[in-house]
């Protein structure tokens, strides 16, 4: 099977990034969302990100225009009918994802592949909610998608070898590097990264250091490009909490217990950059620590 057209369901931060790299690599893309304003925002973000690539002389103005022309935004699932592969990139909520798969599968061709961009949920469980578990697998892109090189590839128990090979080949065509991960909670990257972020939040919660001192310590002491609390805000505190809950419930180990302070911030609606408040307040000219 030759993948020519790719559907992306969800036009948020991850979805618009996945659509960007697929279109830039020459694939036609159907970008689906239930909200027109989300689709409009996704195209605006894509345009800005492509402008940055033009400014850095990574691509030409012509390539930018051709890339945007390959993206077809739609609020209708019927736009997925002729896709060879559909990538789900919705919120990290298992019930939401299951509902999406139940809605899109009847629209797809019988031979179409389906992938999920989940960062933590069981691929085998999600596959079981579709009519094609053997043609289903996990494609976990890193954020921000246009810049990050890694894609974790996760096979469910029913995923066929041919499905895996086709998806792996696609990842290489996108200019990304695939890494195989087994279908355990949070896979590789988030299994290691999120407990570190959670521990940084515990360090703040217990008064060992302030937001600024914790981030400075990890940037300068461990040579991290950004501090763990700054990174948590970038990822989204609701996503951080969701992944920690998956780890805690899936592995039944107390070391994965989400920090109560993380829970409190999410309950307050302080989810990080996307809501302008998290461990930093982004409403002014420069971010200000909130604790």
How far is it, in rounded angstroms, from Cα 115 to Cα 85? 7
Which residue ranges form the domains of the chain, and what is each CATH number? 5-181 (3.40.50.720), 190-289 (1.10.1040.10)
Q: How many residues does the chain have?
A: 291
pLDDT at 273: 95
Give the distance from CA 267 to its chain's centroid.
Answer: 22
How far is it, in rounded angstroms, from Cα 283 to Cα 148? 27
Classified as helix, coil or strand, 270 is coil
> Choosing from 122, 152, 198, 242, which is the catalytic residue?
152
224 is a catalytic site residue: no
Distance of CA 223 to CAs 142, 189, 216, 274, Å?
20, 18, 10, 26
How far is it, in rounded angstroms, from Cα 265 to Cα 201? 11
Task: Identify whether the C-beta of residue 175 lies closer than 8 Å to the C-beta of residue 25.
Answer: yes
> Choosing from 49, 120, 190, 198, which is the catalytic residue?
190
**Mean pLDDT in order along the chain per 10 residues (291 residues):** 93 96 98 97 97 96 97 97 97 94 97 96 96 98 95 98 97 98 95 97 98 98 97 95 94 96 98 96 96 93
140 is a catalytic site residue: yes
Which residue has tokens 């703040």?
204
How far is it, in rounded angstroms, from Cα 60 to Cα 53? 8
pTM of this prediction? 0.89
pLDDT at 173: 97
How far is it, in rounded angstroms, from Cα 203 to Cα 29? 43
pLDDT at 99: 97
Cis upstream peptide for 144 (omega within 30°): yes
190 is a catalytic site residue: yes
The answer to whether the Cα torsion of 146, 175, 227, 255 is positive or negative is positive
> Choosing from 16, 119, 198, 242, which is the catalytic residue?
119
pLDDT at 2: 87
> Choosing from 117, 140, 166, 198, which is the catalytic residue?
140
């Amino acid at each position: 099977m030759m993948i020519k057209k790719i559907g992306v369901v969800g036009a948020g931060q991850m979805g618009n990034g996945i659509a960007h790299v697929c279109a830039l690599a020459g694939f036609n893309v159907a970008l689906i969302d239930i909200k027109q304003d989300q689709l409009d925002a996704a195209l605006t973000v894509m345009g800005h990100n492509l402008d940055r690539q033009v400014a850095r002389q990574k691509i030409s103005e012509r390539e930018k225009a051709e890339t945007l022309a390959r993206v077809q935004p739609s609020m209708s699932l019927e736009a997925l009918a002729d896709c060879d592969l559909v990538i789900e990139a919705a919120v990290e909520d298992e019930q939401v994802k299951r509902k999406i798969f139940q809605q899109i599968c009847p629209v797809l061709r019988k031979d179409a592949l389906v992938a999920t961009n989940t960062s933590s949920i069981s691929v085998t469980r999600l596959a079981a909610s579709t009519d094609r578990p053997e043609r289903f697998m996990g494609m976990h892109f890193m954020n921000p998608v246009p810049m990050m090189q890694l894609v974790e590839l996760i096979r469910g128990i029913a995923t066929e070898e041919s499905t895996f090979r086709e998806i792996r080949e696609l990842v290489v065509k996108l200019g990304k590097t695939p890494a195989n991960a087994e279908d355990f909670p949070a896979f590789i990257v988030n299994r290691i990264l999120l407990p570190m972020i959670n521990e940084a939040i515990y360090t703040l919660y217990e008064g060992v250091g302030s937001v600024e001192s914790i981030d400075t310590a990890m940037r300068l002491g461990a040579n991290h490009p950004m501090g763990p609390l700054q990174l948590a805000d970038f990822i989204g505190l609701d996503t951080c909490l969701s992944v920690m809950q998956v780890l805690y419930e899936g592995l039944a180990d107390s070391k994965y217990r989400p920090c109560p302070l993380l829970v409190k911030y999410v309950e307050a609606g302080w989810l990080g950059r996307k809501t302008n408040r998290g461990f930093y307040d982004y409403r002014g000219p420069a971010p200000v620590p909130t604790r």
